[in-house]
Amino acid sequence: MTIPMTITEKILCAHSGRESVRPGEIVNARIDLIVAHEVTTPPAVNMLAKMGITRVFDPSCIVVTPDHFVPNKDIQTAELTRKLREWVKEQGIENYYELGDHGICHALVPERGHILPGQTAICGDSHTTTLGAFGAFATGVGSTDLAAALATGELWFKVPETMRFNVSGALPPGVYSKDLILYVISMIGVDGARYRAMEYHGSCIDSLSMEARMTICNMAVEAGGKSGIMEADQTTASYVRARTARDFTVYSSDEDAEYSSVFDVDASSLEPIVALPHLPSNGRFIGEVEPVAIDQAYIGSCTNARIEDLREAARIIKGRHVARGVRAIVVPATSAIWRQALKEGLFEIFSEAGCVVSTATCGACLGGHMGVLGRKERCISTTNRNFVGRMGHPEAEVYLASPATVAASAITGCITDPRIFLDHAPDLNAPAPRTEAAAMQKE
């Protein structure tokens, strides 16, 4: 008798050579993709060296890019990146993306066609859950587990329980996938999905672009999730096939699969949401949020710095100017997105409005550089975390929101409902000229 399973259970089952798996069981799974950056990879490499392990299991399964401190901000980060480059050369890793062709790893990997439906993927970074938008089991690990996977191509997991989210309806104008995931996290709390897979279904999810889906899966970890995952569909297949000719397997949850819990969300009832300090679960509808003054508006990170996000921000900012006393920072997620935004004239819009544009980097999201906050400063940001000290000084405050809400707030100087600007905003989502980056972003 066949045991009904969820997508996550089927992927882990297939990769561990078993006929079936159940939540709570320990499996040793084959890893299809390992993503590496300059922060957590050098410690993993050092561990392997101490054990006398000099070769990775398969260089072709590894994708590497420096992304957290790009360009290097000091001697320490320069040394980390130098060690990463030396290791890449030593191991013969071809999938290495250097400064100028680099990007935040969670955006770069799908953009370059490295993630496929049905795969297992890990990275020494918690927001690896982003890749679950492609119907893959993707999760972040520590440097010790990263070292083990680099050496053996396998890693053990406890099969997670799965939570199901049925999202019906359509997102209203001015409401985006970032608002949806902030709503979900506010509903279940920062530990509401602890070591569970967050699986999404419904007409709303089906209508979303891959970029929007990645935003939702990206923040699974902010609810304590082991992973976020969506069933691969035609939108997924089109995105992937535009970037690679490799075959892939699509897994679907059985109709009678068991879930630890099921939630129904009507997307049409949502409004723009802002997560107040100091937790991503402190989401409030914009009408419930006081128009507090801000010092900085930040559009970037692995959550919301894709071309779709930059277009929405530019749509609101075009023809207007950043409020006096506000620093507005725009950070595209990858070099290809940077080039696409340049060709579409988005940088001109941002520059004329008084914004500054950076190269692709995690940067200020983790309090690294390119926008770190000082004492008692307030920032509204498209990033994924607003913990105490996350973007700088422990007495600073971070508010999380969509690119549209951040752009609107930059214009007014205080937290603002983006819908007040949308009636007369120009349409920047019209088909763009066919270019290298446009082809990469084809959905």
Take residue 84 and report the two structure tokens written for it: 């990463």
* Predicted local confidence at residue 271, as pLDDT: 96
Helix (H) or strand (E) holding 306: none
Distance CA 209, CA 168 (A): 16
Question: At residue 296, what is the residue type?
Answer: Q
Q: What single DSSP character describes residue 19?
A: S
275-440 CATH fold: Aconitase; domain 3 (3.30.499)
- Spell out a b/e string for 324-357, using b for 16 or more CB atoms within 10 Å of the CB, else e: eebbbbbbbbbbbbbbbbeebebbebbeebbbeb
Indicate the length of the chain as a whole number.
443
CATH class of 7-266: alpha beta
Take residue 406 and report the two structure tokens written for it: 């951040």
Write down the residue that tokens 């480059």 correspond to.
Answer: 85
Ranges of H-type helices in 189-306: 203-207, 210-218, 234-241
Distance CA 292, CA 283 (A): 15
Bridge partners of residue 158, in order along the sequence: 26
Kindly report, as residue ranges, where domains of CATH 3.30.499.10 are found in the chain: 7-266, 275-440
Take residue 355 and report the two structure tokens written for it: 């914004």
Helix (H) or strand (E) holding 139: strand 137-140
The pLDDT tens digits along the chain (443 residues) read 589 999 999 999 999 999 999 999 999 999 999 999 999 999 999 999 999 999 999 999 999 999 999 999 999 999 999 999 999 999 999 999 999 999 999 999 999 999 999 999 999 999 999 999 999 999 999 999 999 999 999 999 999 999 999 999 999 999 999 999 999 999 999 999 999 999 999 999 999 999 999 999 999 999 999 999 999 999 999 999 999 999 999 999 999 999 999 999 999 999 999 999 999 999 999 999 999 999 999 999 999 999 999 999 999 999 999 999 999 999 999 999 999 999 999 999 999 999 999 999 999 989 999 899 999 999 999 999 999 999 999 999 999 999 999 999 999 999 999 999 987 555 554 433 333 333 333 33
Distance CA 36, CA 67 (A): 10
* Predicted local confidence at residue 432, as pLDDT: 36
* Predicted local confidence at residue 425, as pLDDT: 54
Q: Which contacts of 21-26 are long-range, i.e. CB under 8 A and separated by 24 or more positions? A: 21/159, 22/159, 23/159, 23/160, 23/161, 23/162, 23/258, 23/260, 24/158, 24/159, 24/161, 25/158, 25/159, 26/156, 26/157, 26/158, 26/159
